[in-house]
Amino acid sequence: MDFNPCMKHQLIRKTVREFAESEIKPHVSLMDAESRFPWEIVEKMKPLNFFGLQVPRDYGGAGLDTISYAIAIEELSRVSAALGLCVTVHNSVGIFPILKFGTTEQKEKFVPAMARGDSIGAFCITEANAGSDAGGVETNAVETMDAFVLNGTKIFVTNGGVCGTILVFAISETENKKNRASVFIVEKDRPGFSVGEIEDLCGMRANPVSSLFFEDCKVPKTNLLGKLGQGINIGLTALDTGRIGIAAQALGIAQAAFESSVSYARERQQFNKSLSKFQTIQNYLADMATKIDASRLLLYRSAACKDGNKPFSSEASMAKLYCSATAKEVTDMAVQIHGGYGYSKEYDVERYFRDAKVTQIYEGTSEVQKMVIARSILSQSS
């Protein structure tokens, strides 16, 4: 096993970090304070293929491997977790299911615009009565002669306020009564589709999370993704891929908090010496560095499994579970190291602290990740 990153991966990290530092970082605090999605930055991201990271070149994407993808999300999230969230959700649960389950016509129609960033993707499962329980979805799709008519409400939709292509998880009539969930591709200009108010959230405030409403929203039958009743399979496959992206996002947040803490510990003076001279602070930094390193190894292992066409569901859940816990723990220690300043919006660690928590919730809570991991363990022959 080679733990040394190849030149390609080093170049991707360098390129994304330089872009994030120069083009995103100067605006992050204001984006967070105003809950503002930075369209002007998105325009600069488009030519660099951020919105088509793993899309094949035939469809206008960068065609990157999954480790490269994870590095890109990590580096974006190190500066702006909210933009990192936009990009990973767009790529992993927005585009990937179309590439994996879509027809040639669907790929040609939807993927190029998404890869360019001209149409931002969203994936809608969560409802008022269906969060971790995907089987509790109440949004329904009624089949007519030439279309499906959707009715229902999705909540807490990442990219909801800016989405152009939406994958909607809905119940439909199928021959198999146990598999009634299907996935439909909905364009934002479809009559009957509307966007709710942007949520006023604790963290990730520059990502426009919102509710989406479907009121007699008519979509052609050609917009059915996969087959009727295949929704659970599509959803689980998309979420496995999405968890790699969220793990990378959490890792980026933790890395940023760690770097800020090292810098602050060296500069801050107490009792006539720098904080870095105190054993307690050194212990914090050692714990942070160890957790981050372990997180990165779990993340890259899951990405390598996916690239090697090996099963990666359990590995992705382990990475997401551990990376999100690391983000929460490391940002908590970062605030503690900064003391009162860590609780002030004048310092970035306050934002890292707020952004970290939700990585333990979306794309499957930590409890759901443990269920996936345990199921994998118990399904193995003794």
Catalytic residue numbers, as ranges = 363
First to last CA, the chain: 27
What DSSP string runs through 16-82? HHHHIIIIIGGGHHHHHHHT---HHHHHHHGGGTGGGTTS-GGGTS----HHHHHHHHHHHHHH-HH
Helix (H, G, I), strand (E, B) or coil at 146: coil
Residues 268, 271, 275, 277, CA torsion sign: positive
Distance between CA atoms of 248 and 298, rounded to whole angstroms? 10
Instruction: Please answer whether residues 53 and 121 qualify as being in contact, where contact means their C-beta atoms are separated by less than 8 angstroms.
Output: no
Burial 103-127 (b: 16+ CB within 10 A, else e): eeebbebbbbbbbbbebbbbbbbbb
How many whole angstroms from its chain centre is CA 228?
A: 26
CA angle 114/115/118 to nearest 5° reads: 50
